[in-house]
Amino acid sequence: MAEEKKTFYITTPIYYPSGKLTIGNAYTTVAADSMARYKRAQGYDTFFLTGTDEHGLKIEQKAESKGIKPQEFVDEKAASYKKLWKMLDISYDKFIRTTDDEHVKAVQKIFEKLLKQGDIYLGEYQGWYSVEDEEYFTESQLAEVYKDDNGKVIGGKAPSGHEVKLIKEPSYFFRMSKYADRLLEYYNEHPEFILPHSREKEMVNNFIKPGLEDLSVTRTTVNWGIPVPSDPKHVVYVWIDALSNYITALGYGSDDDSLFKKFWPADVHLVGKEIVRFHTIYWPIMLMALGLPLPKQIFGHGWVLMKNGKMSKSKGNAVYPEMIVERYGLDALRYYLMRAIPFGSDGNFTPEDFVERVNFDLANDLGNLLNRTVSMINQYQDGIVAPVSSQEDEFANSLRETAQDTIKTYYTQMDELHFSQALDTVWKLISRANKYIDETTPWVLNKEGKKEDLSRVMTNLAESLRLVALLIRPIMTESPVKMFKQLGLSLDDEQATSLQWGAYGWNSKVTADPKPIFPRLKNDVEVKYIKEQMAKAKPKKATRSEQKKQEPKHITIDDFDKVEMKVGKILEVSPVKGSKKLLAFKLDFGEDQVRQILSGIAQFYPEYQELVGKKVIAVTNLKPRKMLGQLSQGMLLSSEKQGKVRLAIVDDSHEVGALLG
Ligand code: MSP
C-alpha cells in the first residue's frame, strides 16, 4: 500500500468585507501563502484556507448606506478580495464565505449542540458597543467615559477612539469559565501552541488568570447573521460564526467531511496580534466543548505600521497592494512584506525604506548577480553553462559551503515561520556569490585564457543562482521563473529543482539578451509617488449630512426631548479674529437673554450684515465651549446640500424665545 502523504493545514483569518484591503491584510495572506508553497514544495499534502467574515452590524449598515442588500454588498466585496488575491498569486485551496450555505448550516448545528449539552445558556447582555469595532467593551475597558452630573457613565469611547453606546438585550452565553483550567493545562502541555511565546503570557496573565467571563454569543439587535434555529430572533454573534470557519470549510457538520478527517487539526492558524485572544481562548474552548482536537499552533504576528500609527484610510496613511504591484511588480511587494518586518513583531512601512530595499536587495544584490552572470556566460562561453568540473579552488569551496549552510539554516527558519530571517540567510548566499566574482575576477581568467577555471566559476555562479531561485520561490513567485528562464532551466525539471548544491548536471544555454529583473528605482521620484498615492486614497471629510446618510440611526422621543431649541433674533454679526470660517452672532432669546453663538458659516455669508434682524433656530442647551478664545453658547441650525449651507431662518410670526418641539 502506498505510504500516505504528510498533510499540512494553514489558515488566514477571514477578512471583514467592509473596506478595501491594505498591505496590512496582504501581510497575513502573503505569509500564509509563502508557508503553503514551502510545504507543498516539501511534498506535504497542503490545504490553505482563506475567506471572508461576512455577517454583523457593520456590514448591514454599510450595505444600507449604499442602498443595497447586505448579500449584494458582500458578494461584491468577496469578488474584489478574490481578485486581489489573484493579483498577489495567493494559492489558496479554498475561499470560505460565512454566508456559504454549508457554513451557515454547520454553524447552526454547532450552536444547537452546544446549547443542548448546556455549554450555552440564555441570559441578558449589557455592554458598551462600538459599531465600528464590532466589539463590546466593559466600562473599565473604555478609553474615555462620559458621565452625567450624578457621575453615572452615559457614554464613552472604545480604545480605537470610536464612540460606544450601551446595549442591553437578551443573549445566549457560552460557559467559558468551565473550561479555564483545562485550557491552562493544555497550554502547559503544548509549549508551542501559542507563538511568539510572549503572547501566551499575555493571554494567561491578562485574561485567563483574572477569571474568564462567559461569552455572549448571540444578538437580537442584529439582523444580518445566522439565526439560532431554536430561537430565531437571535442571530449568532460574530465569534462562533467566524471561528467555526476553520472546520466548516473542511466539511465539518456537513454530509461530506472527508477533508475534515484528513486535515483537522490545523497545523497553524496565522492571525494578527489583536485577535490572538479569540483564537487562543475562545476557539480552543469551543473545540473542547465540541470534543474536537485543538489546532497545533496559533501564530500571532505583529502589525505593519506607519510612522503615525496603524494604517487607516481616514489618516491618509493606508497603502494598497494594487498600487505597489502595478508600479514595482508583485515580488517587490511580497519580498518587502516578508523581509522588512520580522514575523511576530510590529514594523514600520515607509516609502523610503521600501524603495531602498527594492534598490539594494533586489536590483543591486540579486538582480545584478543574475545579470552579470548571464552576461559573462554569453560573453565568455557563447551562453553555455558547462557541467561542473571536479577541480575546485578555495573560493569555490567557500561558496559551496555557504550554499550548503544556507539551505540548512533556511529550512529551520522557514519551519519556524521566521520568513525575514530565512530571506536574510538567502541574501548572505547572494552576497557570497557576488564576492566570488570579485575574488575570481573572471575577466582576468578570460584574458589569460584559463578556460577551464573560467568555466568552473561560471557554473558555480549559475549553480548559486539556481539555488537562490529555489529558496526564494515560496515567497517570491515571479522572479524564480524569470531566473530559471535566463539560466536556461525549467522549473518542471526534477533535477533542476533539487535543493542541493551540485544536484544539477549543468549543460544549458542562457538567455542571449538578459534584461535586469529588477530595474533600479529613482529614489526621490518613487518616494514622492508612493506618498502621493497614499494621500490620494484619503477620503474627503464627510459633511454632517453625508455622515448622517452613512449612519442612519433611530432615536427615541426621549432622545429628541433632550435637545432644547429656541427661536432667537440676530442682534449683531461679526467675523471672529483668526478664523476664516467662523462668524460670531449675538442673539436675543427674550426675557433679557442675550447669548453669543459661533457658527462656521462665514464663507456662505459674505454679506453677513444682512442677517441682522433675522430670526433663526438655535440649540440652546449644548455645553458651552470656547473657540479661538470666544465663548459659544449654543448652535445655529442650518441646512446643507452638496456643500451649500444656509441658516434655518424662520418667518417673523415666530416669537423670540419660543421653544421648538
Ligand atoms: N474577521 C476578523 C477575523 C476573524 S478570524 C476567525 C478580523 N478581520 S479583519 O479584516 O479586521 O482583519 C483580518 C486580519 O488582518 C487580522 O489578522 C489583522 O491583524 C490583519 N491586519 C489588518 N491590518 C493589519 C496591519 N496593518 N498589519 C498587519 N496585519 C493587519 O479581524
Binding site membership of 303 for ligand 1 (Cβ less than 6 Å): yes
Residue 23 CA to ligand 1 center (angstroms) comes to 11
Compute CA distances 182 → 110, 119, 145, 185, 609, whole Å.
21, 15, 36, 5, 75
Q: Where in the chain is the domain with CATH 2.40.50.140?
A: 546-660
Residue 165 CA to ligand 1 center (angstroms) comes to 24
Residue 25 CA to ligand 1 center (angstroms) comes to 6
What is the distance between the alpha carbons of residues 173 and 248, in angstroms, rounded to a whole number? 22
Binding site membership of 17 for ligand 1 (Cβ less than 6 Å): no
What is the distance between the alpha carbons of residues 50 and 645, in angstroms, rounded to a whole number? 47
Q: Where in the chain is the domain with CATH 1.10.730.10?
A: 323-330+345-509
Q: Which three cell numbers stand for residue 520?
A: 533600479
What is the distance between the alpha carbons of residues 61 and 551, in angstroms, rounded to a whole number? 7
Binding site membership of 183 for ligand 1 (Cβ less than 6 Å): no
For domain 323-330+345-509, give the CATH number. Answer: 1.10.730.10
Residue 110 CA to ligand 1 center (angstroms) comes to 24
Binding site membership of 53 for ligand 1 (Cβ less than 6 Å): yes
What is the distance between the alpha carbons of residues 232 and 230, in angstroms, rounded to a whole number? 6
Best residue among 11, 15, 81 to mutate for probing ligand 1's pocket (most ligand atoms within 8 Å of CB) is 15
What atom of ligand 1 comes closest to residue 22's alpha carbon?
A: 23
Q: Which CATH number fits domain 115-228: 1.10.10.10, 3.30.70.141, 2.40.40.20, 2.170.220.10?
A: 2.170.220.10
The contacts of residue 72 (CB under 8 Å, 6+ apart) are: 63
Binding site membership of 249 for ligand 1 (Cβ less than 6 Å): no
What atom of ligand 1 comes closest to residue 273's alpha carbon?
A: 19
Residue 337 CA to ligand 1 center (angstroms) comes to 15
Q: Where in the chain is the domain with CATH 3.40.50.620?
A: 7-107+239-305
Binding site membership of 311 for ligand 1 (Cβ less than 6 Å): yes
Q: What is the DSSP string of 505-552?
A: ---EE--SSPPPSSPPP-HHHHHHHHHHHHHHTSPPPPPHHHHHHHS-
What atom of ligand 1 comes closest to residue 15's alpha carbon?
A: 10
Binding site membership of 243 for ligand 1 (Cβ less than 6 Å): yes
Give the closest residue (by CA) to ligand 1 atom 12: 15
Residue 133 CA to ligand 1 center (angstroms) comes to 12
What is the distance between the alpha carbons of residues 499 and 508, in angstroms, rounded to a whole number? 18
Q: Which three cell numbers stand for residue 207?
A: 485574561
- Give the three-state DSSP class for 132: coil
Q: What is the mean pLDDT of each run of 10 residues along the chain (661 residues)?
A: 80 94 95 98 97 94 92 97 98 98 98 97 90 80 90 90 90 94 96 94 90 91 94 92 98 96 98 95 97 98 88 79 97 97 93 96 98 98 87 86 98 97 98 97 96 94 98 98 98 96 94 95 96 81 54 70 93 88 92 90 90 95 83 91 86 93 82
Which one, of 303, 350, 310, lies nearest residue 161 by Cα? 310
User: Are the beta carbons of 413 and 425 closer than 8 angstroms?
Assistant: yes
Give the closest residue (by CA) to ligand 1 atom 26: 24
User: Are the beta carbons of 29 and 11 closer than 8 angstroms?
Assistant: no
What is the distance between the alpha carbons of residues 103 and 92, in angstroms, rounded to a whole number? 18
Residue 287 CA to ligand 1 center (angstroms) comes to 22
Binding site membership of 275 for ligand 1 (Cβ less than 6 Å): yes
* Distance, C-alpha 637 to centroid of its chain: 40
For domain 546-660, give the CATH number. Answer: 2.40.50.140
Q: Burial of 457 by CB count in 10 Å (0-12 exposed, 13-18 middle, 19+ buried)?
A: buried
Residue 440's pLDDT is what?
95
Q: Which architecture characterizes domain 7-107+239-305 according to CATH?
A: 3-Layer(aba) Sandwich (3.40)
Q: Where in the chain is the domain with CATH 2.170.220.10?
A: 115-228
